[in-house]
């Protein structure tokens, strides 16, 4: 039995496209809807309650588009909203923190893991909890790198400014002698060339895109929600706010295959409110 409905994926900007790209690579027959909340970008410095409400509103919007599963392709929104969203909605919802944490636990040999993330994700402590849940003996050193998201969104992922910000964020982690580094923001995989330049072969770099896509595939299969091989996937992108800069950076990832981008007035996303999962 086949379920051709799309998988919904969302983030505050282009970062979640790294997850979307991996989903499309691993699950080539699945249709997708990507939602970028540019009007409220960035999520990192915002209060968790505010990010939680944005996330619930976006999931409600995606649910109206008849998605069969939602991936919160943003570490900050996962930390702020995943547990609440699972209480509110009946559809499967997957975050990016647990898959990344599990991959780091399996990768580390000296039991020292570094995490770079936004301020919101760091202050939530969700990576620490997820890693310690998997293996309580692992040491975790989290560091916030608040400037990196803006640099990536501005198309400056390989700039001297990005390298300087990364060196500052990674200094303590390198001194800590962590052998595994979690990229705790879905924007950060776009910085991998610079990260590799700074860390060399001292660390295994973990980003959650691959493991999140794997988990999505398992959930679809386990629940009979997968599309058949005969399905021709349809990919859609919705954004709040102005899509121009988003389009420029997105084309770096997807080239000319980038789907048409539809702008959505932000006021249409945030209504109505209530326990939609029962509907």
- Catalytic residue list: 74, 185
Contact 19, 96 (CB under 8 A): yes
> How, if at all, do strands 204-207 and 261-263 pair?
unpaired
Tokens of 266: 């932000």
Yes or no: say if 43 and 117 are a contact pair by the CB < 8 Å rule.
no
DSSP string covering the chain = ----PPEEEEESSSTTHHHHHHHHHH-TT--EEEEEEGGG---TTS-HHHHHHHHHHHHHHHHHTT-SEEEE--HHHHHHHHHHHHHH-SS-EEESHHHHHHHHHHH-SSSEEEEEE-HHHHHHTHHHHHHHHH-TT-EEEEEE-THHHHHHHTT-TTSHHHHHHHHHHHHHHHHTT-SEEEEESTTGGGGHHHHHHHHTTSSEEEEHHHHHHHHHHHHHHHTT-PPPTT----EEEEEES--HHHHHHHHHHHGGGPPPEEE--HHHHS-S-S-GGG-
């Amino acid at each position: 039995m086949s379920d051709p409905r799309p998988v919904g994926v969302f983030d505050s900007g282009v970062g979640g496209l790294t997850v979307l790209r991996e989903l499309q690579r691993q699950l080539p027959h699945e249709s997708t809807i990507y939602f970028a909340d540019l009007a409220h970008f960035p999520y990192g410095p915002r209060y968790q309650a505010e990010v939680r409400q944005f996330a619930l509103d976006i999931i409600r919007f995606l649910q109206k588009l008849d998605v069969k599963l939602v991936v919160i392709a943003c570490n900050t929104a996962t930390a702020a909203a995943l547990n609440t969203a699972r209480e509110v909605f009946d559809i499967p919802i997957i975050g990016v923190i647990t898959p990344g944490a599990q991959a780091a636990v399996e990768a580390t040999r000296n039991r020292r893991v570094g995490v770079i993330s936004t301020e919101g994700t760091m202050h939530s402590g969700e990576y620490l909890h997820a890693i310690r849940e998997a293996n309580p003996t692992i040491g975790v050193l989290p560091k916030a790198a608040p400037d990196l998201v803006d640099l990536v969104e501005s198309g400056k992922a390989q700039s001297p400014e990005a390298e300087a910000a990364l060196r500052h964020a990674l200094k303590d982690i390198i001194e800590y002698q962590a052998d595994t580094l979690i990229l705790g923001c879905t924007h950060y995989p776009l910085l991998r060339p610079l990260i590799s330049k700074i860390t060399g072969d001292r660390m295994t770099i973990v980003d959650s895109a691959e493991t999140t896509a794997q988990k999505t595939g398992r959930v679809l299969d386990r629940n009979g929600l997968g599309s058949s091989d005969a399905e021709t996937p349809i990919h859609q992108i919705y954004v709040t706010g102005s899509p121009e800069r988003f389009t420029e950076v997105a084309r770096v990832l997807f080239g000319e295959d980038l789907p048409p981008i539809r702008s959505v007035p932000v006021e249409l996303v945030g209504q109505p409110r209530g326990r939609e999962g029962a509907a």
